[in-house]
Amino acid sequence: MFQQTPIVINEDFSVHQELHSLGLTVDIVTSIARKAAAAKAEALEIDPSSTPGTLAYINGVRAIRMDLLPLGWRLSRTGNVEATVNDKLGIQICFQNVDIACTEQNPQAISGKGAGSRKLIQNGQAELFDRDAPEAVDAIGCAPTVWAVCVSADSKRLRAEVSCPEAFEGNQFEGFSKRIWVVDEDLEPTPGNIGQPDDGSGPVEHEVRIAKK
């Protein structure tokens, strides 16, 4: 299947604009990525091999919903695919662990995609090209366009992009129509320094107030 070259958005101003059009912000996407990476890091060597990815996925989906549901989004499990939907914008957001995000190569899902994901994306992306007017996306019942928060994290680097996958036939993404590169930061945990200020002056002391009855 022929795949067109995706539109890549990686300039700060454009990234903010594109995310705003999706009802997202850089802070929201960064928070999602960091929470997924932190959960992944909790896995132990003795755990099942799928544990890091599972923890990242669970906490990534949770972070999306914790941030977006209070803003009027709703959760969806159509086709057994966990998504978070904005009916006004006509989009749905999914979380995806990928091999690597924010590079020239298209991200690949760590776990193969099943029939539910294929159908969800095919339906939503077909609707994307059928809409002639902005108000058409307001109608609940049309298939929302699928966007994925794609997160990759290893021992040194955390990356995340928000990308719109094209319809595919196998069990893996075959291309994207647009990729918004959001997070690319060092990921070097320093045990024992949590809660200390950057100037190294020592741990932060918090005053505890006890209210009298």
pLDDT 10s digits, 112-146: 544 554 455 556 454 443 444 344 344 455 788 88
- pLDDT (0 to 100) of residue 202: 44
More confident residue, 142 or 65: 65
Is-contact 110 53, C-beta < 8 A? yes
Distance (Å, whole) CA 202 – CA 130: 59
Q: Which of 54-58, 107-111, 201-205 has the highest mean pLDDT?
A: 54-58
Asked whether the predicted pLDDT for residue 79 surpasses 90, the reply is no
Nearest to residue 21, comparing CAs of 90, 98, 107? 90
- pLDDT (0 to 100) of residue 169: 47
- pLDDT (0 to 100) of residue 121: 54
- pLDDT (0 to 100) of residue 143: 80
Residue 94 tokens, joined: 């999914």
* Identity of the amino acid at 39: A
Asked whether the predicted pLDDT for residue 104 surpasses 70, the reply is yes
- pLDDT (0 to 100) of residue 34: 97
Considering Cα of 108, then 111, then 112, then 114, what sign does the dihedral take? negative
- pLDDT (0 to 100) of residue 167: 60
- pLDDT (0 to 100) of residue 130: 42
- pLDDT (0 to 100) of residue 125: 58
3-state secondary structure of 172: coil
Angle at 64 between CA 24 and CA 33, to 5 degrees: 85
Asked whether the predicted pLDDT for residue 29 surpasses 50, the reply is yes
Asked whether the predicted pLDDT for residue 7 surpasses 70, the reply is yes
Q: What percent of the chain has pLDDT over 70?
A: 68
Residue 154 phi, psi dihedral angles, 5° rounding = -125, -160
pLDDT, one tens digit per residue, over 152-182 is 999 899 999 999 988 644 455 668 899 999 9
Overall average pLDDT of the 88-102 stretch: 95
